[in-house]
Amino acid sequence: MPPLLEARHIRKVFSSGGGLFAEDKETVAVEDFTLTIDADKPSFTTIAGESGSGKTTIARMLLGVIPPSEGEVLYAGRSIGQLEKDEMRSFRQDVQAIFQDPFEVYNPFYKVDHILTTPIEKFGLASSKSDAREQIDAALRTVGLRPEETLGRYPHQLSGGQRQRITIARALLLKPKLIIADEPVSMVDASLRATILASLHKLYREFDISFVYITHDLTTAYQVSENIVVLYHGTVAEAGGVEQVIKDPHHPYTRELIQSIPVPDPGSAWIEEEIEEKEVDESSVAASMQGWSTCRYAPRCPHAMEKCSTRPPLFRSGAGRAAACFLYDEQEPVDEGNLTQLFSEK
């Protein structure tokens, strides 16, 4: 059986017009990213990184919203760009999305019922209106909402957390095999984040739905994920089991990220190791951003060495984990950057 969804060495370059007398400028947003989502084994994988790391660009390529500049994304063994009409319909049902802003997906002139009834009608999922209502009620209850307090209301009459949980219920109605959730809790109150994360994890645990969870917040990744991929400027910095990576980060960038997580008790940090501060040469950063011949983190890295003038591959740094850092160059590189195979070795 082919994988449900597979990204093979995808790369994305954005071009911007330079104007009348200037050359076009190219920005490499993602470089050589590979990930496989199995059809018969649900998984929960986080893609994490700071703003500009390329994580949302990866999500958009996985969803078929934008094509990769190089490489390909395959659904059931077929390139997304070559799917026939029936295959695309299956893809749209099997692979669902939850977006960052829970208000953007709503039409303010329609009651929230509309966002729930539309997919049922479009995909012919109910035999009658009463059957459709039963499915909607069940989906709302699954995500912790009471149908009688939710249906018949307009989006502005609901909280951000309620709106986001309705979009999760909408995705559940289609009985998807994969949900790609792009920063689903970043625009809701902190008090509601745990509820939404619990809803996502419930879908994974009880309905065998795989997740690709996009976030800049490593604390939420730690709460819900099995595996994590840490991005830095479009490349994979580190990957492995989420508890391993967050409790014992190997890549210097991951250590920096985790040490920046605020904790209630300043004396109880996520990791004990102090990160050496390094004065950053802005010209070196700019030079590293122009191409991919160097390690992009080298200008900021306290462990930078001469060999960092070349881009490091993803080295195995332990059982089921890897880091793109020459500190681990005595280990073998991960075969073709296959993260799914790496995760299975834990």
Tens digits of residue pLDDT in 293-341: 688 899 889 898 989 988 899 999 988 999 999 999 999 898 766 788 8
Q: Structure tokens of 12?
A: 């994305």
Q: Which residue, among 159, 160, 133, has the nearest Cα to 147 in the 3D structure?
A: 133
Residues 6+ apart with CB under 8 A from 301: 252, 253, 278, 295, 308
> How far is the C-alpha of 297 from the C-alpha of 253, rounded, in Å?
7
Helices (H) and strands (E) in the chain, counts: 12, 12
Beta strand ranges found along 38-69 (DSSP E): 44-48
Q: Which CATH superfamily is domain 226-346 in?
A: P-loop containing nucleotide triphosphate hydrolases (3.40.50.300)
Structure-token pair, residue 232: 């830095």
CB 178 within 8 A of CB 147: no
Q: How many CA atoms lie within 13 A of 26 on its CB side?
A: 9
CA-to-CA distance for 26 and 30, rounded, in angstroms? 12
From CA 213, how far away is CA 180, in angstroms rounded? 6
pLDDT in tens, 153-193: 999 999 889 999 999 999 999 999 999 999 999 888 877 88
Q: What is the pLDDT of residue 176?
A: 97
Q: Lowest mean pLDDT: which of 91-100, 145-154, 270-279?
A: 270-279
> Between the CA of residue 240 and those of 111, 162, 186, 308, what are the distances in Å?
43, 33, 23, 22
Separation of CA 248 from chain center: 21
Structure tokens at 310: 């070349």
Which pLDDT score, from 0 to 100, does residue 19 have? 60
User: What Å distances lie between residue 313 and 237, 316, 327, CA to CA?
Assistant: 9, 10, 11
- Domain borders along the chain are 226-346
pTM > 0.85: yes
Share of the chain above pLDDT 90, in %: 67
Give the model's confidence band at 20: pLDDT under 50 very low, under 70 low, under 90 confident, else very high: low
Residue position matching structure tokens 């645990």: 205
Radius of gyration of the chain (CA): 21
**pLDDT for res 280:** 44
* pLDDT on residue 264: 57
* Contact indicator for 79, 71 with CB cutoff of 8 Å: no
Give kind and range of the element (H or E) at residue 240: strand 235-241
Coarse DSSP helix, strand, coil percentages of the chain, rounded to the nearest 5 percent: 40, 20, 40
CA–CA separation, 78 vs 321, rounded Å?
29
Neighbouring residues of 156: CB distance < 8 A, sequence distance ≥ 6:
108
Tokens of 289: 């951003």
